[in-house]
Amino acid sequence: MRAPRTLRALPSPSTCLLRTSHQRPQFRYQQQSSRFVHMDHSGHNGRRGHQPGKRPFSTGKGGKRKQEQGEPFHRRLGRALRSTKIRWYPIPAALGIGFLGLAQLYKINEREKKARREEEGEPYRRKRIRPTGPWQVQVMSTLPLKAMSRLWGRFNELVIPYYLRVPGFKLYSWIFGVNLSEVSEPDLHAYPNLAAFFSRTLRPGVRPLDPNPSALLSPADGRVLSFGLIDGGEVEQVKGMTYSLDALLGTSHPSSAPNLSSPSHLFARETPAHHHQHVESEALVKRDEEFAILNGIRYTLPGLLSGAPSSPHPPPTDASTPSLPPSEEEVTDSLAVPWYNPPRRTALYYCVIYLAPGDYHRFHSPTAWVAEKRRHFAGELYSVSPYLQRTLPGLFTLNERVALLGRWRHGFFSMTPVGATNVGSIVINFDAELRTNSLLSDKAADKSPNGYAEATYGAASRVLHGRALGRGEEMGGFRLGSTVVLVFEAPEGEMGEKEGWDGEGQWRKGGWNWGVRNGQRVKVGEALGWVDEKV
């Protein structure tokens, strides 16, 4: 006898359809709708008119999704916020109290440090400059360029496997145009890393010096970006874009503006004897003090060379090393002026030379001169590529640089190696105390009220009171391509006509004459210009 069948669940009459087959009906309970739905053996809803292979009509999630896509975003956002359940998680009271205590302790500590600095007269740390310009400049200003340059320096010091040195250095030379025939060490296996290859030396005789003793030589291999006469303390970075000479070099007496009418006394301290000269050039100094605004920062000639005019400056350190006897003898003879030498009117000139990554990275003395002091400016490390020089005003006054100040036979002379991205390391051969792009050494320059740390070379020579540098003598180098800026005083001369003159430029009788043009490639030892000594 067969047991009677029991129905597991009784469907509601409104949701159950009549069954036309003799098969056992199956029902599935849906929790969301709380109702029973009849299911056939094919797994589809047992609705009337259903055909296999076609999706039955439904007003479920698919229809709601299509309906939601047509709604505005704010309605969907509001519905999502209303339907989302907010859950609160308890925070331990001890953790909250501890956080508030640490925050209050930090504020008290900073307030005490500020009061201590004000009492001791200690200056604040230099704030990072955020220049304005195109989006490329804005993006670059947000990057930690100095930290990236330090990391790149560490990468350059990694030892390259022996079997990869030759193909690696040849690939680099092919990309950047390095002339391997000029390298003093032809065996590329001798360079253990990229840093050693960047600071490579050249074979003797491949950079001959110009025979004209009155010529000013190129200090490095590179391209002449700009040159000319300094007018009103403004140096042309590229065509149509200038910066202040003060912001580049600094002044020895920040409380007084430079006397541009007498370049020989550009860095001399003001005395009562020279007071009338400052009065006569008051209009000229006023124009320099109101120099153009560079990226929202006011740069004047004292600001470029020595920063704020009213801030006290710590005494300079002594970084003197003995001069080489041949160089000292050469410089002494060059600076010797006969008693019958008539005074000549002088002017300030400048020249900017850009070193590409494939160029010879060491720089040499362009003439016989005396370096009296060094100023290390702890600035930024923006790229000094020609594109950025055209885009970013005052680039050389923003970047880290080492200004070497001194004199040559015609008056003031300065040579400034400028750092760049991945080129923060500037080496001066006769200055062992100099450390550029360093976390420790930059603190003195960063905290200086004038933005630089100064050192003197007065003890290097008892006669010259500075470091004697002979013509073509190696002075230092970069770790990768950068820029060298020359600012010097030379006789102004008079306009004249010279037999056989090709007509390019202006020849000045008894004065300074340029021998290069913008964009010209120059090498160490080639003449940038000369002083016409035949008066």
The catalytic residue positions are: 221, 364, 482
For residues 230 and 487, the answer to whether their CB atoms sit within 8 Å is: yes
Q: Is 394 exposed, middle or buried (0-12, 13-18, 19+ CB in 10 A)?
A: buried
For residues 522 and 506, the answer to whether their CB atoms sit within 8 Å is: no
Could you give the CA distance from residue 196 to residue 479 in angstroms, rounded to a whole number?
9
Task: Report the relative pairing of strands 346-354 and 527-531 from DSSP bridges.
Answer: unpaired
- CA nearest neighbour of 532 among 216, 162, 134: 216
Could you give the CA distance from residue 380 to residue 421 in angstroms, rounded to a whole number?
9
DSSP 21-41: SSSPPEEEEETTTTEEEEE-T
Which segments of 73-161 does DSSP mark as H helices, in order?
Answer: 73-83, 93-120, 135-142, 145-156
Could you give the CA distance from residue 397 to residue 423 in angstroms, rounded to a whole number?
16
Residue 446 main-chain phi, psi, to 5 deg: -65, -40
State the virtual CA torsion across 383, 384, 388, 392 in degrees, nearest 10: 90
Instruction: Give the max Cα distance, the chain.
Output: 147
DSSP 136-185: HHHHHHHS-HHHHHHHHHHHHTSPPPHHHHHHHHHHHHHHHT--GGGBS-
